[in-house]
Amino acid sequence: MLSAASAIACGVVCRAAVRRGFAKFFRAVWAAGNRAFRKAVLDHRRAGVPMVFWKDGKIVHVPADQVPLPEVED
- The rounded distance, in Å, linking the Cα atoms of 71 and 27 is 13
Mean pLDDT of 25-54: 93
User: Is the pTM for the entire model greater than 0.85?
Assistant: no
Over residues 38-52, the pLDDT tens digits come to 999 999 999 999 999
State mean pLDDT over 30-37: 92
CA dist., res. 37 & res. 63, Å (int): 15
Q: What is the pLDDT of residue 44?
A: 97
Domain locations in the chain as residue ranges? 25-74
* Long-range contacts formed by 67-72: CB under 8 A, 24+ apart: 67/41, 69/38, 69/41, 69/42, 70/34, 70/37, 70/38, 71/34, 72/31, 72/34, 72/35, 72/38
Q: Please enumerate, as own/partner, the contacts of 10-18 that have beta carbons within 8 Å and a separation of 24 or more.
A: none
Mean pLDDT, to the nearest integer, of 20-39?
Answer: 86
pLDDT in tens, 59-73: 999 999 999 988 877
